[in-house]
Structure 1
Amino acid sequence: MDHHISETFSRPALIRLDDHTTCVRFETMKVASALAAVRHLLQRGVIAPGDTLVDSSSGMYAHALALACHRYGLGCRIVASTTVDTTLRVQLEILGAVVDSVPPGGDLRLDQALRVARVQEILRTEPRHYWMRQYHDDIHYLGYRPITEMIRRELGEQPLTIVGGVGTGASTGALATYLRDAALDVALVGVQPFESVTFGSDHVRDPEIIIAGIGSAIPFANVRHSLYDTVHWVGFDAAQAGSIALLREHAIFAGLSTGGAYLAAGFERRLAPGRHVLFLAPDTGHRYVDAAFTRPSSALAVRDLRPHQITAPAEMRLPWSRMRWNGSPAPVPAVAPPVTTDGPPGRLPGARSRR
């Protein structure tokens, strides 16, 4: 029996769609990483009850961190993106989180940079605040280890292809790392939106980009590019088609990043029928209802979609492109500068807890 809802949310449902495809379906995926990261920091004495954890978020991580802080009796402060809607904001505030809204910067790059800058301002004046650094710290990989154990119990030792949105790299990167450490044959396929620097799609504009959470306009230090074998770049129109098809065909209501992963998973399954494909569904579709689900008749048909096969990022184009990544290093704009600190990595130089 669970003692807190965060523990329930941290475990996905594994749903077999056919003999060679499984959906790893979460209510809200980042609870797995936030809960394990907070527990690890408490066990090491890096943070203590009474401290406040702070981070920037476009939505899912904000909810995850607020739940983890509620579970362990910690304060929570979120520097919120404009994509944090009323439904989420109400939950955050009732859970006890302080929500700081940063005015829109005019584009995604500036919005993300302004939010990180605001976090650093807070740390300079609040010595008992700890920055969780969801974009930078590998500690967020830890929560996915138990999920790899679930996968091994259910699917055994067969060759696997993992498909999912990259985001900070914690989910897909962690699953591949832990399964490969167990000597499994694992291919890793990352899904990205256009306009993201992480895998070099920032030069392609998607007029309806709202696929929050799986791309970035700033470098993410905890994406390990060398883990990825293949990358799919999926635009809004293609991701919408995937999300609607997943709901229609399998009754799974999930967000746009899941729609992109469903498309990519189907393509990879056809390419390598001897492998079992797992794709990640990190959240439900509720936040995308108005934007993606209310006009199903106008959506593209999945059966008509194929990715543009490319050999370099300069060749990519909407609505869907695919390239063998082969463990290549990060593109130059995606290389994060080092974060220097005299103390623990979540605190700025000179900041110390008063316990």
Structure 2
Amino acid sequence: MTGVDLLRRVGNSPLVSVKTPVPLAHPGYFAKIESLGVGGLKARSALSMLEGARRRGELQPGARVVESTSGTLGLGLAYVAQALGHPVTLVVDDELEPAMRNLLSALGAEVVIVDTPHPEGGWQQARLDRLRSIVAAEPGSYWPNQYDNPDNAAGYRGLADEIMTGLAAAGIGKPSALVCSVGTGGHSSGVGGRLRERWPDLRIIGVDALGSRIFGQPAAHRLMRGLGSSVHPGNVRYDLFDEVHWVGPREAVHACRALAREGFHTGGWSTGAAATVAGWAAAQWPGAVVTVFPDGPERYLRSIFDDDWCREHGLLGAPRSRPHEISDCRHPATCWTRCRTVPIPSDAADRRDEETR
């Protein structure tokens, strides 16, 4: 099979019914298992961003692609860029699991490791600073900029279409809610925007990590990777969300382990967080809840699924069974927390105003 053959197979992951009782018993929800698609969830956005750049002439034949990643987009780019004839440099940080570093290297990517977090922007800002220096030193190289590139979100419209087709095949006319983890804002905006076109009153619930700045919380160290952000990604569509939940690592660990034992399809931090909120939502509202499981369990065998590591981080105790409620997204969240108003944070609004001037 050639790289081009693989690109034709990106997408079409299974939509499955999940009834694992997390956080408590619920009637079930539907989840797209993206780890079972070629290249994973972010192969969709990688393909969209690189094809868009090639069409516009921003990415020349054979030019290097350089991107910052916590791992998942790196996998997608390693498949897509090289299949299109582009070498890949991935800027990661010292907290990326060694297994993932080895896998990215095995797939042919050059891996650059940042070993010191930025004093204010953490690992994410440190990676971006290193990335800019690499791009500046190699004329003609291309940075997809997953945080602000609209082609990122556009790459997930097909995922939304697959959800609609799968729900129809299951006899579901309309879902009651979509639950989406939020990091770059790509898949939540792409899937949520497309489904809202079909169902304008669909409830959309964002799932963030404790310590993330996306929805107005103060930035803090995040144990969970793959969702959340230390910067304000331009792809986040705040207007889409009816509410947001910040989930903690204890809830995510509990969910991932329960899914593995009882559902036989599990994943990492973003999957555990999405499963926690999707199970809670399925118990709240009649009708079908749908979510996306962004990744699989392989890179988390030395963390989420390692008893000693979880014990060291205090993650094996009983998790919360329901969220704490706040009325203002700026009120600091220290545990699984829900807010039913989702304004655009002032600093994110200021940044977007500057970009449109």
Question: Smaller-chain TM-score range?
Answer: 0.7 to 0.9
- Offset, 1:9: 4.9
Letter in 2 for 1:26: E
**Contact 2:226 2:269 survives alignment (8 Å):** no
Which residue is 1:10 aligned to?
A: 11
Q: How does 1:263-278 map to 2 (within 5 A)?
A: 263-273=276-286, 275-278=287-290
The aligned residue for residue 345 of structure 2 is 330
Give the aligned CA root-mean-square deviation in angstroms: 2.6
Counting aligned pairs with the same residue, the percent is 28
1:194-245 CA deviation, whole Å, 9 max, x = no partner?
Answer: 1111012326x57xx3211211112211111111111110111111111112
TM-fit CA distance, 1:75? 1.6
Task: Pick the aligned partner of 1:170 from 166, 186, 193.
Answer: 186
Give the CA deviation at 1:10: 3.2
1:130 partner SS: coil
What TM-score does the superposition give when structure 1 sets the normalisation length?
0.85
Matched, 1:196 2:196: no
- Please give the alpha-carbon distance, in whole angstroms, between the structure 2 residues aligned to 1:251 and 1:107: 40
One-letter amino acid matched to 2:300: Y
CA drift of 1:107 comes to 6.1
Please state how far the C-alpha of 1:337 moved relative to its aligned partner. Answer: 5.8
Q: How many residues align?
A: 334
- What amino acid is the match of 1:15? V
Post-superposition CA distance 1:133-164 (Å, at most 9, x none): 01111110122122222111121341341112
Q: Does 1:136 align with 2:136?
A: no
Rate the CA distance shift 1:284–1:141 in 2: closer, same or farther, 3 A.
same
- Name the TM-score, length of structure 2 as normaliser: 0.85
Distance in 1 between residues matched to 2:268 and 2:5, nearest whole Å: 25
**Residues 238 and 300, structure 1, Cα contact 8 Å, conserved in 2:** no
Question: d(CA) in 2 for partners of 1:50 and 1:42?
Answer: 11
Letter in 1 for 2:269: L
Amino acid at match of 2:226: G
Which residue among 217, 226, 230 is the counterpart of 2:230?
A: 217
**Distance verdict in 2 for CA 1:331–1:259, change over 3 Å:** farther
- Whether 1:126 aligns to 2:121 is no
The 1-side partners of 2:43 and 2:350 are apart by 26
Taking the aligned partners of 2:353 and 2:71, their CA distance within structure 1 comes to 25
Give, as a single letter, the amino acid of the residue that structure 2 aligns with 1:330. P
Aligned partner of 2:195 in structure 1 is 179
What 5-or-longer segments of structure 1 have no aligned partner? 341-355
Question: Judging changes above 3 Å, is the alpha-carbon distance between structure 1 residues 256 and 111 closer, same or farther for their aligned structure 2 residues?
Answer: closer
Q: Give the stretch that moved more between structures: 244-253 or 24-33.
A: 244-253
Distance between the aligned counterparts of 2:349 and 2:76, measured in 1?
A: 25
| 2:89 alignment partner, SS class | strand
5 Å-filtered alignment, 1:285-296, equals: 285-295=297-307
